[in-house]
Structure 1
Amino acid sequence: MTEFEPVLLTLSSLTPSLAAEILPYGLTFHRIFVQADGRTHDIVIGPEDPRGHTAQRYTNTIIGRYANRVPIGKHDIGRNGLKSQVIAELNEGTVVSLHGGPVGFDSLPWKLLSPSSPPTLFSSTELSHLPSISSPTDSRSYGIFQLASPDGDQGYPGQLTVEVLVALIPPAHQERKYLEKGESKEGKEWDLGSILYVYRAKVDKGVTPINLTQHWGFNLEASLKEGGDTLSVKNHNITIKADRIVARDKDSLNTGKFVNVATEAPEHLHEGHKIGEKYPKLGYDDYYVFAPRTVKIPKRFSASEFTSEFDLLKDVLVPSSADGEVRGDRSNPVVQLSSDKSGLQLIFETNQDGAMFYSNAWADPAKGARKIIHGGSGIKDHGDAYVPGTAAFLEFHDLLAAFLDPANKEGNDTLLTEDEVYHNYVRCDVRFKQPSR
């Protein structure tokens, strides 16, 4: 297997509603296929050719070791009595280290683990849940990928081992009842399955910053190709349960201050309205801090707790139901994205503190390629690539450069010590509601 050969994840033949192609290169969601209402949708933008991700960076890839922007130079860090130093490397403008540095996790090959090379950061109890969501055929519904980042990688201290579970979870009702003859579809909503990723990480010694995310960009209408501007997400509905955005300086670095979305920035108050309703001149590219909520699943745990019986997967692997049944933190989703035109809806839950929402504002149609299923030629630099406003990038992670703010000391500081294990999860429930004709 090469790093550009997709790993196909599918649900069983009873629920052919959801599939994903994962590239070991950059742990990339190259395609997410959704079957609904007799149509096949690919709901993430990107290049046609898997190798196109080498040029179209940060499109549906993992981001690491550290998401978003950190000022370059030396930074002393400490947590729980352990101390070290970060030397952030320049790769944007004159003062910014972006997405982990010049050669981040998005540009590296990940190893797909197997029974002969099992994971080390998921317990035997957690792994025992996975066969129950696997197809009995030769297809798979999940994969666990691993990357070893050496001490000093892009200026970050400590050897870091990262393992990522990517799984598709079937809906509670696998028979897809909406296909039954004579049943009225109007106004009904169906679960099509769920997409889950779980990031685990362990540093061998000392302390290191870590803030991982998936830089995936969604368009729930791009595969319809029915004329007009079908690639814009301005007609998508979005809800982000956030009360603040981070105030950033001219280089998009965190200033340590916040902007209240209700009183100071109403264009960032997303309560289910159209993305284009209050669309800023340059589009959206902001970090939203979720409003206070109860989060049941921790973001790190003590390495001493990690026994064979340890289990943080059971609840998040339970099938969801459009009838209202919930598990884990799904009773309080933080982001929802939907299209009235396609009828597709994405419902996100996570244990992270916030999310970047980026509307592909800096896209250049002259560079890169657009997928054929999205009406493009698939040819690199052909002039028909994606334009600004064609995707909703939703990147779930903790606060920007949190380890540089003394107010976060020993708390949500995005630091990981040698006696801890990092745990970051995002679950996306995919639903379909019959559009009005």
Structure 2
Amino acid sequence: MAEFKPVLLTLPSLTPPLAVEVLPFGLTIHRVYVQADGKTHDIVIGPEDPQGHTEVKYVNTVIGRYANRVPVGTHNVSKDGIQGSFTTVTNESPEVSLHGGLKGWDFAIWSKYDTLSDATLFTKSEVETITQAAPGDASAAIFHYTSPDGEEGYEGTLLTETLVALVGPRGVASGPAEHAVGSVVIVYRSRLQEKDKVTPINLTQHWGFNLDASLKDDPEAQSILNHRVTLKASHIADRHANFLPTGNFIPVAEADNGSLAHVHDGKRVGDNWPSGAGYDDYYVLSERTTRQSPHRIKTSEFGPSLNVVKDIFERPNENVLELSSEKSGLAVKFDSNQDGLMFYTNNFSNEKGYRKKIHGGTGEKGDGYRKQSATFIEFHEPLAAFKYPTTTSTDTLLTSNEIYNNYVRADVFLRQVEHTGAA
């Protein structure tokens, strides 16, 4: 089936090379290949067979229409004089609707435009910038999906176009022993198709990273506890016992009874482990120093010469989160225009699922990843922000007079290591 046939994006001119496989099913980042010291790494976990994503939910897929948890029930919203109402459905518990409902966009079948110019939510100037940054037919693709009015209780017909692009080294190396490999850029654009509508939207890529997993002869490679994390965050979201947000935020130094477990300053993930099963927290990013790509673009300003993606490709990455491993020598530095991110350490994984062969698995069901086998890094706006507009910088509402704009950029680096653990 076409939805399970990977679309391969490559930058073959890069040394070492970087490549990504994207599935139209769930807009899934199926693989991220990196060549390091003569070995091929796949730095995201997941099933070997693309069709395994029908059984393993939320692994490297897009999440929509609304990421994370919102209360079940009918919600009345208003923005710019436009009134709206939507009803979220239960799927995680009687009180909680998770990741868009019973059948979210992670199960939607996306279509790839034949050319970048076929997209309607990226301007002519932006397509030119994308083509220059990601040259060649195999370096960038735009996928699209139209969510019908009423899907999973959400109001309005919503067209979404998502750019996935590979670009050459843009990141700044931290020293002579670090080499910039290249970058993965994802840009989400959405627009309501009817007039005078308002709907909530909060998208993310729910991708799970393990930079060591391809070192399959190393018994510690299936764990991310030795990975190091630097996260520039000021607060985490306070939540109820059912994981719904309270609308309040806690300074990272005070969270978890002041244990400093949520102060990620380059420490190992496994050091100063938080109470409970592990990390599964929403972090509000600290104030950034450079101008960010806007969350919304006014439709009245959306014309051929508008170019919002130029800064995404060309300005330096602020490195709001850095994930690195001393074993593989790989590091990924992230940037986004979103106000925060979920950081999840795959606490509830079990070995009944699937594991890629490159990660030492058989590819068969029952040979899955163990707990703490990946760090899921999901950039999106604060939890259920349409309910708490006074405590967040965005209400996550989109009107017919706006275009939703969300991006994440992941810069991949290779660092010099004494032992690669190569098989």
Same structural fold, with TM-score higher than 0.5 when normalized by the shorter chain? yes
Q: Which residue of 1 aligns with 2:346?
A: 360
- Provide the C-alpha distance between the structure 1 equivalents of 2:369 and 2:56, rounded to a whole number of angstroms: 11
Q: Does structure 2 retain, via aligned residues, the 8 Å contact 1:301–1:420? A: yes
Give the drift of 1:133.
3.8
Q: Which residue of 1 aligns with 2:46?
A: 46
Q: How does 1:15-30 map to 2 (within 5 A)?
A: 15-30=15-30
- Provide the C-alpha distance between the structure 1 equivalents of 2:117 and 2:14, rounded to a whole number of angstroms: 30
Q: Which residue of 2 aligns with 1:285?
A: 280
Q: Does structure 2 retain, via aligned residues, the 8 Å contact 1:12–1:135? A: no
Q: Which residue of 1 aligns with 2:334?
A: 348
- Provide the C-alpha distance between the structure 2 equivalents of 1:413 and 1:18, rounded to a whole number of angstroms: 36
Q: Give the match's secondary structure for 1:53.
A: helix
Q: Which residue of 1 aligns with 2:84?
A: 84
User: Are positions 1:436 and 2:422 aligned together?
Assistant: no
Deviations 1:198-245 (A, max 9, x none): 000011231000000000000000001123221100000001111111
- Provide the C-alpha distance between the structure 1 equivalents of 2:328 and 2:238, rounded to a whole number of angstroms: 35
With normalisation by structure 1, the TM-score equals 0.90
Q: Give the match's secondary structure for 1:129.
A: helix
Kindly provide the amino acid, as one letter, of the partner of residue 297 in structure 2: F
Kindly provide the amino acid, as one letter, of the partner of residue 203 in structure 1: L
Q: Which residue of 1 aligns with 2:373?
A: 390
User: Are positions 1:155 and 2:153 aligned together?
Assistant: yes
1:423–1:276 CA distance, 2 compared to 1 (3 A): same
Q: Does structure 2 retain, via aligned residues, the 8 Å contact 1:402–1:412? A: yes
Q: Does structure 1 retain, via aligned residues, the 8 Å contact 2:47–2:356? A: yes
1:149–1:341 CA distance, 2 compared to 1 (3 A): same
Q: How does 1:139-218 map to 2 (within 5 A)?
A: 140-171=138-169, 188-204=177-193, 205=195, 206-218=197-209
Q: How does 1:113-132 map to 2 (within 5 A)?
A: 113-115=113-115, 118-132=118-132
Kindly provide the amino acid, as one letter, of the partner of residue 70 in structure 1: V
Stretches of structure 1 lacking an aligned partner (at least 5 in a row) = 174-185, 319-326
Q: Give the match's secondary structure for 2:131.
A: helix
- Provide the C-alpha distance between the structure 2 equivalents of 1:12 and 1:309, rounded to a whole number of angstroms: 31
- Provide the C-alpha distance between the structure 2 equivalents of 1:376 and 1:253, rounded to a whole number of angstroms: 35
- Provide the C-alpha distance between the structure 2 equivalents of 1:172 and 1:348, rounded to a whole number of angstroms: 12
Q: Which residue of 1 aligns with 2:387?
A: 404
Q: How does 1:262-277 map to 2 (within 5 A)?
A: 262-265=253-256, 266-277=260-271
- Provide the C-alpha distance between the structure 2 equivalents of 1:115 and 1:432, rounded to a whole number of angstroms: 32
Out of 224, 227, 232, the position equivalent to 2:223 is 232
1:86–1:333 CA distance, 2 compared to 1 (3 A): same
With normalisation by structure 2, the TM-score equals 0.93
Kindly provide the amino acid, as one letter, of the partner of residue 106 in structure 1: D
1:117–1:51 CA distance, 2 compared to 1 (3 A): farther
Out of 357, 361, 374, the position equivalent to 2:359 is 374
Give the drift of 1:408.
5.3
Q: Give the match's secondary structure for 1:379.
A: coil
More divergent stretch after superposition (202-211 vs 213-222): 202-211
Q: Does structure 2 retain, via aligned residues, the 8 Å contact 1:37–1:434? A: no
- Provide the C-alpha distance between the structure 2 equivalents of 1:293 and 1:221, rounded to a whole number of angstroms: 30
Give the drift of 1:313.
1.2
Give the drift of 1:260.
1.5
Give the drift of 1:167.
0.2
Q: Does structure 2 retain, via aligned residues, the 8 Å contact 1:247–1:256? A: yes
Give the drift of 1:157.
0.6
Deviations 1:169-218 (A, max 9, x none): 01269xxxxxxxxxxxx961111000000000011231000000000000
